[in-house]
Structure 1
Amino acid sequence: MTFGVINVFKPGGSTSRDIVNQVQRACPGKLKAGHAGTLDPLATGVLVVAVGPATKLIQYVQHLRKTYVGRFRLGLRSDTEDITGEVVAVPDDPLISESELQTALHSFVGMIQQTPPQFSAVKVDGQRAYKAARRGETLDIKARPVEVYSIRLLEFNYPDFEIEIVCGKGTYVRTLGRDIAKSLKSDTVMTTLTRTAIGDFRIEDAHRLSDVPQCSFESMVDDPLSMVGSLPTVRLDSVELERLRHGKRLSSAKWQLPDSITETAATNHDGQLLAVLGRKSESEFGSKINFVPQLY
C-alpha cells in the first residue's frame, strides 16, 4: 500500500489538479491523491501531494507556514491582479522609490485584513468567485484576517520589484502586492510567483514529474510523518497499538506531554506513523485519524 507524501515541483501553465492527475497516472493501480494548497497556473514551485491514506493529513500541511517569491510591476492594473488578466496602465502613476517601498512593506507584516480577489476560489453564497467573475459579475467578498510573518525586498528596479513573503494559510500574494501598491497610491500586477517552501517541504527537494519515467514511483514518496511535523510524537508499545486498533482510548501518563498539548502523532517502534491522537481528558487520548486498521 502506498502511504505518504510527494513534494512536487509544479511548472507554470499547469493547474494543481493537473499535477495530482499526473501523480495518479504514474502510480501503480488506483490511488487516492490530493494536494495541500492550490497554486494558480501562473505559479511554480512546491506542491505537496498526499497519496493513499495520507490524504487524511492534508489539513496539517495546509496550516504550515508558506514561503513565496513574487515579482510585481508597478503602474499597471489587472482584473485578476496578475498578468493573466486584462492589464491596463494606470494614468499618472507616482514614481515610487525603494525606500518608500521598504517602509510600506513593514506595515503589512503581522495579522492583517485582506480581501481576496474576484478571480479566486473563495465561495460567496455557495458559488466560487472566479466563476462569477468570468460571467462578468462582481461578488461582495468580505475581508478576512491572514497572517504575514515576514516580507523581504529582494530586488527593486522601478517599475519592477521582487519580494519574499512568509505567510499563513489563505494569503493571496497577488492581493498582498496590490494592497502594498495601493498604500503608496499606486497599483501593480504580479508577473511571476514561486512557492519555495511549505513548512519543511522545500523547492530544492521537490521532484519534477518528468523524472517519473526514470525512477520508480515509490522512491518519490516520503514518510507521511513529515506531514504532521508540527505535532509532538509519542511512540506506542504493542499493548497500546492493540488498543488503538480497536478504537480504545490510551493513557497518556507515561508520555509526559504538557497539558497544553491537545494533539500528538503516534508511531510504532520503527517510527511508522500510526495515528493522530487528540486529548479526550486530562490523562487520556483517543484517535482522531487512525491508520492502524489499514496498516496491520
Structure 2
Amino acid sequence: MSRGRESAAPRPRAGLPDRQVPGQRGSNRRNPEGARDPKGRKPLRRRPAGRRRGGACVINGFLVIDKPEGITSHGVVQRVRQWAEQRRVGHLGTLDPLARGVLPMALGEATKLSRLLTHGKKSYRGRIRLGVATASYDREGEVISSCEGPWPELEELEKALETFRGAIRQVPPPFSARKLGGEKAYRLARRGEPVELAPTDVTIERLDLLDYSPPFLSLVVDCSAGTYVRSLAHDLGRMLGTGAHLWELCRTRSGPFILEQAIPLEDLAALGRDHVIPMASATGVVSYEVDVRIARRVACGVQLGRQELRGALPQGLLQLVHQGRLVALLEAEPGLPLLRTVRVFLEGTKG
C-alpha cells in the first residue's frame, strides 16, 4: 500500500527555526511585538525605542550633581536611577567618597558618550596636610609616618611644586580602582596584599598655591584625566621630607561640566526634568543640522559622503543634529570621501 503525501509528517529544515504557531507561548513570532527567546521559553516583548516600562519616555542627557562627602559615586548613580525611574544611568569618572564636587551623570542614550567625555580635563581645589603620611594617601587611611616639623619655607614649597607641573609620571594610590592582575587595587590593599602599580603618564597644566599655613596648604589643580590628587599630595610630602596626605578635595570641573551648574544631591528629589542637559550641547564638537531623511539613513547604517553636509568639514569628530537632538557622531578622515560613523543615537531619528 502506497503512502500518500498527506500522511507524511513535514520534516523541519536544518538550521531554520520552527514554523510560527500563532498565539502559542514561545512561538517564533516574526513581528515587531516579540521574538523567540534564545532558549525558546517565551516570546520577548520589545518596547519601542525611547520608551521604558509603563510607556514613559526615557530621559536622554546629562545631569551634573554636586556630590557631597561621605557617599560613593555608585551611591549617587543609585539615587539618580530612582529619580529618573530608569536603569540606564552612569557617572563620568569616579569621585572618592572623601571628595565632593562635580559628578556628571549620563542618562539613557547619553551613556554612549561616556568614553568621549570621561577623558576630558579635570579641575580641583584641594587641601593638603603636611607631617602625616597615610596608607590611602588621604585623611581616612592608616597613619604610616608622622612628624612635628620643621615645616618647609614658602620658597622651598614653591620649588617642589614646580617639579609637578607639566607632563609627569605618576603612580596611582594603592587604594584605587586601578586593576592589578585583573583585580581592583583597593581590594588587594584591604586584604593586606602588596600593591605595586605601574606609573602612568599624566599632565598637570596648572598647579597654583592658594594658601600656606603650616601644616596645611591649599592648591588649585588643572590636570588630565587619570591624575590622582591624592598621589600628588603623597609625592609632595615625600619630596619635602615631611610626609603628607590629602585632607579635602573638591572637583570644580569635569570635561565640559562645571561646579556652577551642579545640582546639590539633597535637591535631586524635587528637581524637574528641564535640568537635564541635552546630549548635543555637551560633546564640544562641530555640529551640522540635518533633516529627518539623512538622520534615518545614518541610523540604518548608511555612510554619508562629505558632499552631503554643507560647509567645510573639520578633521576629526563632528556631530549630526536634527531638531536639537543628537543623531550621530561621525569622523572625517583625511583623504577619504566617506565619513566614518562613530556612534548613532536613537533619539535623533524621531521625526
* Same structural fold, with TM-score higher than 0.5 when normalized by the shorter chain: yes
Specify the structure having the higher radius of gyration (Cα). 2
The C-alpha deviation readout for 1:224-243, integer Å capped at 9, x for no partner, is 123311x2222223442232
Cα distance, 1:2 vs structure 2: 0.8
Cα distance, 1:264 vs structure 2: 1.2
Q: Which of the residues 324, 329, 336 maps onto 1:271?
A: 324
**TM-score, length of structure 1 as denominator length:** 0.92
Query: CA RMSD, aligned part only?
Result: 1.8
Cα distance, 1:250 vs structure 2: 0.8
Aligned to 1:27: 84
Q: Which of the residues 96, 104, 118 maps onto 2:174?
A: 118
**What is the distance in 2 between the residues matched to 1:65 and 1:215?**
27
Q: Which of the residues 234, 238, 243 maps onto 2:288?
A: 234
Q: Which of the residues 88, 100, 122 maps onto 1:44?
A: 100
Aligned to 2:164: 108
Could you tell me whether the CA contact under 8 Å between 2:313 and 2:332 is conserved in 1?
A: no
The C-alpha deviation readout for 1:46-105, integer Å capped at 9, x for no partner, is 000000011010112211111001101111110000011012542475421122112221
Cα distance, 1:44 vs structure 2: 0.3
Could you tell me whether the CA contact under 8 Å between 1:60 and 1:227 is conserved in 2?
A: no
Cα distance, 1:200 vs structure 2: 2.9
Find runs of 4+ consecutive structure 1 residues off by over 6 angstroms. none
Unaligned runs of 5+ in 1: none
Aligned to 1:182: 238
175-184 or 119-128, which moves further after superposition? 175-184
**What is the distance in 2 between the residues matched to 1:114 and 1:239?**
49
Could you tell me whether the CA contact under 8 Å between 1:234 and 1:267 is conserved in 2?
A: yes
Taking CA–CA contacts closer than 8 Å with sequence separation of 6 or more, which of the two structures ends up with the larger relative contact order?
1
Count residues with an aligned counterpart. 290
Could you tell me whether the CA contact under 8 Å between 2:320 and 2:326 is conserved in 1?
A: yes
Could you tell me whether the CA contact under 8 Å between 1:67 and 1:167 is conserved in 2?
A: yes
Aligned to 1:18: 75
**What is the distance in 1 between the residues matched to 2:271 and 2:254?**
25
Unaligned runs of 5+ in 2: 1-57
Could you tell me whether the CA contact under 8 Å between 1:236 and 1:266 is conserved in 2?
A: yes
**What is the distance in 1 between the residues matched to 2:83 and 2:313?**
41
The C-alpha deviation readout for 1:247-271, integer Å capped at 9, x for no partner, is 111112334123xx22212112x33
**TM-score, length of structure 2 as denominator length:** 0.78
Q: Structure 1 residues 127 and 213, CA, compared in 2 at 3 Å: closer, same or farther?
A: closer
Aligned-partner residue type, residue 99 of structure 2: A
1:9 aligns with 2:62: no
